[in-house]
Structure 1
Amino acid sequence: MERHHDAVIRAVEERDIRFVRLWFCDVLGSLKSVAISPEDLETAFTEGIGIDGSTIEGMTRAYESDILLRPDPGTFQVLPWRGDTNGTARMLCDVLTPDGEPAASDPRRVLRRAMARAEAQGVEYFTHPEIEFYLFEEPYTEGEPLRPVDHAGYFDHVPRASGQDFRRTVIQYLEAMNIQVEYSHHENGPGQNEIDLRYADALTTADNILTFRTVVKEVALSMGQYATFMPKPMITSPGSGMHTHLSLFQNGKNAFHEPGAEYGLSRTARQFIAGLLRHAPEYTAVTSQFVNSYKRLWGAQEAPSYVCWGHNNRSALVRVPYHKPTKGTSSRIEFRGADSATNPYLAFSVLLAAGLAGIEGEYDLPEGAEDTVWQLTDRERRALGYEPLPTDLFRALEIFESSELMAETLGEQVFEYFLRNKRDEWQRYREQVTTAELETTFSRI
């Protein structure tokens, strides 16, 4: 570890780095940052940098406001958009209490702890996200319509379109920061894009997503545009999901793969899927954490609304993609319930906990869905046993609050703060009189 510290300090000197940004996130997944000078690096590594956490969402209570940020030297990267001279670098941080213990409120710690539980059972946890977002000509202004940067559609190739230049620049910056990209393309909605990150262990992926969001917003602003990861910015256009491929590895082999089994899925994989399904209503408040998230979930257009799984069925909550029979490492499952605004540390934690509960409890996997679930009638869905996901944030929080699995996975402090913050959001939402209400009732009574 000390050699990592020394390597970072040498890199700062050799690459003319003038500022080092220490990154961490709050309980909702919003990036937080404090800049230090190179002279303070040694102190940051050995003692941590003290800040007031009392005004950061869910980080501390007012009477215990002090926290320490200790940078993870393995996450050191130069920020390419800041230039080659007098440069700026960043490191992700672990949040500590003043006595140097891991802070219970740190989302990164929540995921570390969840992964440690999996490792204690002999498995490693990998994720691969497909992240969707929208590009608009300018930020939202009250009373003004949103103007997407284009009106293209799914996989459209638009000659000389700004979206192509945008995606190319984003990918160049990400790869300069050692974040590998697998695919990128235009999505279904006007101005909607998708960039898929290559699979990695879940903690690295969550760190990469935090960086990815920052890169996307920085590049958009540099091009005179505005990027948003809001789940459903336009009601008539598709929402932005973060479909995530999940897999477990044991002794270097894919624990989800079994040669000759149906879809190549092992018993472990089937139990993991069963856990995701059984506990889905409990964790939906985390994977779809905003009031607006439920406009995406219940807006059709490939967003999953019902608890079911299927092979290559894009209307299912869990999809089993086609796998190459000769390539065992390709066996995986795709969770389609998360949106692009989720906190990746918490989302990956609760999905892992649900899947492991399925393995530990030896849950039976129900029959897979072969039909497009949205096109079935309510009676048909009930007959097939497809239960709905929570229809709004209020209902999701009711189920979340009663879940022992969620409380145990997130820890008391994160669990209680998340619940309190989301209840406040719901209350603020209820207090609004919307344009839709005025249009439907103002002149009718």
Structure 2
Amino acid sequence: MAASAVERVLARVKGEGIEVVDLKFVNLFGGWHHISVPLSQVDASLFSEGIAFDGSSVPGFKSLEAGDMLLLADPATAARDPFWDRPALSMIAQPVEADTKAPFARDPRAILAKADALLAASGIATGSLWAPEFEFYIFDAVTYLNDINTAMYRIDSAEADWNSAVGPDSNLGYKIPRQGGYHASPPLDQLFNLRAEMVAELEAAGIPVRYHHHEVGGPGQSEIEVLEQPLRAAADNALRVKYIIKMTAVRHKKTVTFMPKPLYNEAGSGMHFHQRLMKGPRNLFWDPKGYAGLSKLALQYIAGQLVHAPALLAFTNPSTNSYKRLVPGFEAPVKTIFGLANRSAAIRIPKYADTAATKRFEFRPPDATCNVYLAMAAQLLAGLDGIRRRLDPSQLGFGPYDVNVFALPEAEKARLGSLPTSLREAMLALEADHEFLLAGDVFSRELIAAWIHAKIEDEYNAVRNRPHPYEISLYFDA
């Protein structure tokens, strides 16, 4: 009889001399937590009975008077964690109710699983393939402080042009101009060895990588692209990718941020989501006779995402900083349009993906402040709503636009639908348009209301009510 997944993990623990099993789980807003189990306590009960934890101390989970929860290890996610001094095996764990072991209603991973099940039950497709892109900055030093009488941050990078003539550690003339780092080669690209190490760690963890390169941002912006994976595996891997990239940087006394806009007047970092629906091995988005090789079903899916785009951004771009990236002039979308190879569009159809095996599109607004489980579930539900309603993106005025939207006459640009320009706008859009998220009970009204409240009160208002350092420059001598 073939060994079960649990038996294989336990055999691996024994065979590889593992001394600690590290369980990781995600809070409502996308942050990872972990609890570490010594070898003496590792057995089959880790997968069936679980480990107790306090859900009231996890952002977005439980209230204080009802905080008891359990974590159940998922054996399918087992991978070596190379950053421990002792041999460690990492697994993603599922938060469940302590008394019934029922799925927790606010567990983002369980919400994505419901979206995946809804897709399968619809009969439209048997699954979907996804590939987020990972853009990030690697910095040599970061300091910041916020107090009643102080608000400041300072960032440094050995690649930055501001270091071309500063001190003994200056960059000796090999400076990358602002917004001039795209595919820069050594010696301008000083981070290629570090990225190569990141990729080696990713592939050792079973995450297939397409390539890596320096990105547009001069002071240390990089990109690593992974290959497509099924919906849930792609989401799990997204958190693992961020963890491995950050920890590899820490190993070299550097720091990584996936923040959408850490530097003023430099390129921002996005997390574009490539996606397509599948029926068995058949790509449902492919039709060689359709626009850009897209099927009618693919265009309906695209229409669903563009119709709901303002509300989608509440989950795909859920930070105040997100909207400092979504501005003209930095290859970031601001209009709800689609087009072939068009990086000014919210949805781009890659021109190079022109076969039945590769045809897909990318939704370009998202960034890595999102909770990937919620962001991917919302995108899928929006697309399915477009299919259900047989929406036509051209009839709705979404394009296709195969021109640079920023170069259009102002009158024509004004007729195009716009993405939200602030976190508050996105939350108000979600408040007005969320019925599509309730399909199959994937999202609940309670969760959506809690999300909107937290994002407006704890983030938008918290930033809005604080004096900004630039305001001191503008208005101190009033």
Could you say which TM-score interval applies, normalised by the shorter chain? over 0.9
Other structure's SS at 2:19 match: strand
Other structure's SS at 2:56 match: coil
- Return closer, same or farther for 1:176/1:324 CA change in 2, 3 Å cut-off: closer
What is the aligned counterpart of 1:126 among 129, 140, 156? Answer: 129
Could you give the per-residue CA deviations for residues 371-421 of structure 1, whole angstroms, max 9, x where no partner exists? 2112334422134xx111111011111111222224554224432332221
Q: Given that residues 301 and 382 in structure 2 are in contact (C-alpha distance below 8 angstroms), is that contact kept between their aligned partners in structure 1?
A: yes
Q: Determine if the alignment matches structure 1 residue 215 to structure 2 residue 217.
A: no
Which residue is equivalent to 2:452?
A: 419
Aligned equivalents of 2:87 and 2:247: distance in 1? Answer: 16
Which residue is equivalent to 1:94?
A: 94
Stretch deviating more after TM superposition (1-10 or 387-396)? 1-10
Could you give the per-residue CA deviations for residues 249-270 of structure 1, whole angstroms, max 9, x where no partner exists? 0132000001322211101100
Which residue is equivalent to 1:104?
A: 105
Runs of 5+ unmatched residues, structure 2: 146-151, 161-175
Q: Given that residues 129 and 276 in structure 2 are in contact (C-alpha distance below 8 angstroms), is that contact kept between their aligned partners in structure 1?
A: yes
Stretch deviating more after TM superposition (55-64 or 9-18)? 55-64
- Return closer, same or farther for 1:2/1:227 CA change in 2, 3 Å cut-off: same
State the 1:192 CA deviation. 0.2
Aligned equivalents of 1:214 and 1:320: distance in 2? Answer: 29
Aligned equivalents of 2:291 and 2:194: distance in 1? Answer: 41
Other structure's SS at 2:472 match: helix
Which residue is equivalent to 2:357?
A: 329
State the 1:350 CA deviation. 0.5
Which residue is equivalent to 1:261?
A: 290
Q: Given that residues 104 and 413 in structure 1 are in contact (C-alpha distance below 8 angstroms), is that contact kept between their aligned partners in structure 2?
A: no
Q: Given that residues 400 and 406 in structure 1 are in contact (C-alpha distance below 8 angstroms), is that contact kept between their aligned partners in structure 2?
A: no
Which residue is equivalent to 1:399?
A: 429
Which residue is equivalent to 2:467?
A: 433
Which residue is equivalent to 1:203?
A: 232
Which residue is equivalent to 2:264?
A: 235
Which residue is equivalent to 1:56?
A: 58
* Identity within the alignment, %: 32
Q: Given that residues 58 and 414 in structure 1 are in contact (C-alpha distance below 8 angstroms), is that contact kept between their aligned partners in structure 2?
A: no
After TM superposition, list the pairs within 5 Å mapping 1:168-187 onto structure 2: 168-187=196-215
Could you give the per-residue CA deviations for residues 57-109 of structure 1, whole angstroms, max 9, x where no partner exists? 111122221111111101001112335xx301110111111111000110001
Aligned equivalents of 2:14 and 2:187: distance in 1? Answer: 43
Q: Given that residues 256 and 332 in structure 1 are in contact (C-alpha distance below 8 angstroms), is that contact kept between their aligned partners in structure 2?
A: yes
State the 1:144 CA deviation. 4.7
Q: Given that residues 282 and 406 in structure 1 are in contact (C-alpha distance below 8 angstroms), is that contact kept between their aligned partners in structure 2?
A: no
State the 1:289 CA deviation. 0.5
Which one-letter code corresponds to 1:171 in the other structure? V
Aligned equivalents of 1:350 and 1:121: distance in 2? Answer: 16
Aligned equivalents of 1:25 and 1:126: distance in 2? Answer: 22
Which one-letter code corresponds to 1:79 in the other structure? D
- Return closer, same or farther for 1:169/1:331 CA change in 2, 3 Å cut-off: same
User: In angstroms, what is the RMSD of aligned CA positions?
Assistant: 1.7
After TM superposition, list the pairs within 5 Å mapping 1:133-148 onto structure 2: 133-142=136-145, 143-148=152-157
Q: Determine if the alignment matches structure 1 residue 339 to structure 2 residue 339.
A: no
What is the aligned counterpart of 1:300 among 323, 329, 348? Answer: 329
Q: Determine if the alignment matches structure 1 residue 380 to structure 2 residue 412.
A: yes
Other structure's SS at 1:80 match: coil
Q: Determine if the alignment matches structure 1 residue 442 to structure 2 residue 443.
A: no
Other structure's SS at 2:83 match: helix
Aligned equivalents of 1:388 and 1:372: distance in 2? Answer: 15
State the 1:40 CA deviation. 3.1
Stretch deviating more after TM superposition (407-416 or 147-156)? 407-416
Which residue is equivalent to 1:66?
A: 68
Aligned equivalents of 2:438 and 2:469: distance in 1? Answer: 37
Q: Given that residues 105 and 413 in structure 1 are in contact (C-alpha distance below 8 angstroms), is that contact kept between their aligned partners in structure 2?
A: no
What is the aligned counterpart of 1:315 among 340, 344, 347? Answer: 344
State the 1:3 CA deviation. 0.9
Which one-letter code corresponds to 2:23 in the other structure? L
- Return closer, same or farther for 1:324/1:216 CA change in 2, 3 Å cut-off: closer
Q: Determine if the alignment matches structure 1 residue 43 to structure 2 residue 72.
A: no
Could you give the per-residue CA deviations for residues 2-43 of structure 1, whole angstroms, max 9, x where no partner exists? 711011011001111111111110111111111112323322
Could you give the per-residue CA deviations for residues 139-174 of structure 1, whole angstroms, max 9, x where no partner exists? 333335311241430001123954111111111111
Q: Given that residues 80 and 90 in structure 2 are in contact (C-alpha distance below 8 angstroms), is that contact kept between their aligned partners in structure 1?
A: yes
Q: Given that residues 316 and 365 in structure 2 are in contact (C-alpha distance below 8 angstroms), is that contact kept between their aligned partners in structure 1?
A: yes
Q: Given that residues 318 and 423 in structure 2 are in contact (C-alpha distance below 8 angstroms), is that contact kept between their aligned partners in structure 1?
A: yes
Q: TM-score, normalised by structure 2?
A: 0.89
What is the aligned counterpart of 2:387 among 353, 356, 359? Answer: 359
Other structure's SS at 1:334 match: strand
Which residue is equivalent to 1:22?
A: 23
Aligned equivalents of 2:90 and 2:133: distance in 1? Answer: 24
Stretch deviating more after TM superposition (146-155 or 264-273)? 146-155
